[in-house]
Amino acid sequence: MFALNELVVYPAQGVGRVERIESQEVGGSYVEFYIVRILCNSVTLMVPVRNARNVGLRKVCDHEVGTQIMESLKDRSDFTGYSGQNWNRRYREYSEKLKSGDLRDVAYVLKELLLIGRDKDLSFGERRLLEQAMGLITTELAHALGKMPEEIKSYIEELFQDVLVRPDEK
């Protein structure tokens, strides 16, 4: 399914590289594992080969999907905001989206939190989710589009420049 040295994405962790495939005895039978090192923090994950898709392990998106994600960040028509939702409910919803492994969901969370932050202070948990979403997006899009993560982050910050400066700070 995945090859040695292939870049893959593990949900909520980000882009990693398949370092090796090894077999280990578990419960009396041998199980093959992908050994994946997450690039941003060097965490090593063991993902059972037969369950890799079930846990959301996937290839890094291609250039076309990366471009679509960048374009989707410009569109604010799907912004639902925080209409009546408390931060705890949003936090749970956004956490689930980040764990889904779907880059579109991660982009949605990033955009929502940046836009909510325009009108009010984000809770500590929401700020952590914002940082996580930004890290997941910038790392994967950098690999998909052949750019540096800092370039992607700068582009996103520029897109949301009007949002990043709150009205009371102008």
Residue 121 has a pLDDT of 85
Q: pLDDT tens across 18-62, in order?
A: 999 999 998 999 999 999 999 999 999 999 999 999 999 999 999
Distance between CA atoms of 4 and 2, rounded to whole angstroms?
Answer: 7
CB-count burial class (<10 Å; 0-12, 13-18, 19+) for 82:
middle
167: confidence class by pLDDT, cuts 50, 70, 90? very low
* Three-state secondary-structure class, residue 61: coil
Two tokens, residue 114: 């940046």
168: confidence class by pLDDT, cuts 50, 70, 90? low
Mean pLDDT taken over the chain: 90
Residue 2 has a pLDDT of 96
* Ordered domains of the chain (ranges, CATH): 7-59 (2.40.10.170), 63-169 (1.20.58.1290)
φ, ψ of residue 6 in degrees (nearest 5): -75, 140
CB 34 within 8 A of CB 52: yes
29-38 and 7-10: which strand pairing? Answer: unpaired
